Amino acid sequence: MARAATTSDVFNAIAEPQRREILVLLRAGERPVTELAEELGMTQPRASKHLRVLREVGLVRNRTAGKQRLYGLDARGLKPVHEWTGGFELFWNESFDRLDSYVQELKQTKQEG
């Protein structure tokens, strides 16, 4: 089965680590592309390309403020990711419960020995 285009699927868009880093930076608020590029150690055109992808899948919005274009996070676009990962919550909770039981057994054994 062919992979969905990066610009049409939020999962493919966030598969790129630098795009995830951009989203993390935008959690703190709007920023111009030049700041994002500098923070991530990349060129402005490369940062713009990543922002375009994130904007096209609905994770980033932009607005003009004077001569600058500011980019901000639109976390509503992460809803499909949240819903999908939420399906694994039971698995993780059970894993942590088993780990906690094991740690308690180790502590008990240590106290008895």
Asked, for residue 49, whether it belongs to a domain, the answer is yes
What is the domain extent for residue 49? 10-112
| DSSP-based three-state secondary structure for 38 | helix
Domain-located, residue 37: yes
Within a domain: 4: no
Q: What is the CATH number of the domain that holds 61?
A: 1.10.10.10
> Contacts for 77-80 with beta carbons within 8 Å, 24 or more apart?
77/10, 78/10, 78/14, 80/10, 80/11
| Domains: count for the chain | 1
Give the global pTM: 0.75
User: Is there a domain that residue 36 lies in?
Assistant: yes
The C-alpha angle 71, 73, 78, rounded to 5 degrees, equals 145
Residue 1 lies in a domain: no
| pLDDT single digits (tens) 2-53 | 455 566 789 999 999 999 999 999 999 999 999 999 999 999 999 999 999 9
